[in-house]
Amino acid sequence: MILTVTLNTALDLTYRVPALVPHASHRITQVIERPGGKGLNVARVLAALGYETVATGFAGGATGATLRDLLAETPVRDELVETAGPTRRTVAVVDTASGDTTQLNEPGPTVTAAEWTGFRTRFTRLLDGAAAVALCGSLPPGIHVGAYAELVRLARTAGVPVLLDTSGEPLRRGIAARPDLVKPNAEELAQLTGAREPHRATRDARRRGAHAVISSLGPEGLLAATPEGLWRATPPAAVKGNPTGAGDSAVAGLLSGLVDKTPWPDRLTRAVALSAATVLSPVAGEFDPTAYEDLLPRVTVTEVGGAA
């Protein structure tokens, strides 16, 4: 079983419009609702790949109830903890003429001390039997900035490999707790290390405590600093579409590779192909299976340095 954690879940709304024009009224041609937040996107992709997946985190209010109803329609097992505050919404407006997407994200609910204690209890229980855990996304109000570091330590104590995908101070503190893998993007890496050159920033991030660091370079693929070497993985060509959830699909590819114990080049190939196939999907946070199978043999992975 693979466990994913989404402390700041969301009800994802995708609006499609013929063209997005500032200061104008728009007629929406399609509305799609999905359970969202980074960890839930990861869980949905893992389930689509055939992995037994459990999702935990927080959900509350009418929005949270809708999210859980939608999650029940997927193979992902719901272990979300109820909050008094309502789950947030995120809105992706897709301009069908250009393929560009505009994202609007609400803040999350304030989580109480009692709710956090209840979550910790459930998380500790779920670690028993987990093959790996992913800690994903932002922290909602009310949760202390060292929460991910705390969860990393709990996972390590239980002997469960842990992947961390967050940013800012939660990333800084979380990486010091020595997760097995972190997956920041280039801007998050620059904020963490002060370096903007990708190779240097990725190596510097790894020296801060993570076993391996996978840097997302957007449409240019991934850069991985691992104990076995420094790797670069690139898609065959830039893809255009809705990038919402593409990074989460990459996390699913990396996490499934960790569970399967596949070599690094194969893990990175899977992650890049899933990410690109998600951009090509018409629905936020889902991947196009046909595109994924087509992209897999065409991803290029090269070793660009020795052990990091």
DSSP string of 138-153? PPPTTS-TTHHHHHHH
Q: Which of 253, 40, 2, 43 is nearest to 131 (CA)?
A: 2
C-alpha–C-alpha distance, residues 165 and 250, integer Å: 11
Environment class of 113 (CB within 10 Å of its CB; exposed 0-12, middle 13-18, buried 19+): exposed
Q: Which of 159, 158, 111, 161 is nearest to 139 (CA)?
A: 111
Whether the Cβ atoms of residue 271 and residue 299 lie closer than 8 Å to each other: no
Q: DSSP alpha helices (H): ranges in the chain? A: 38-48, 61-71, 113-127, 147-157, 168-176, 186-193, 198-207, 246-260, 264-279, 289-295
248 is a catalytic site residue: yes
- Residue 307 exposure: Cα atoms within 13 Å on the Cβ side: 3
Environment class of 62 (CB within 10 Å of its CB; exposed 0-12, middle 13-18, buried 19+): exposed
Beta bridge partners of 12: 34, 90
**List of long-range contacts for 190-194, beta carbons under 8 Å, 24+ apart:** 191/167
Mapped onto helix, strand or coil, the DSSP state of residue 217 is: coil
Set 180, 204, 248, 288: catalytic member: 248
C-alpha–C-alpha distance, residues 65 and 69, integer Å: 6
Instruction: Output the furthest CA–CA distance in the chain (Å, rounded).
Output: 55
Q: At what angle do helices 147-157 and 113-127 cross, to 10 degrees?
A: 30
Catalytic residues: 248
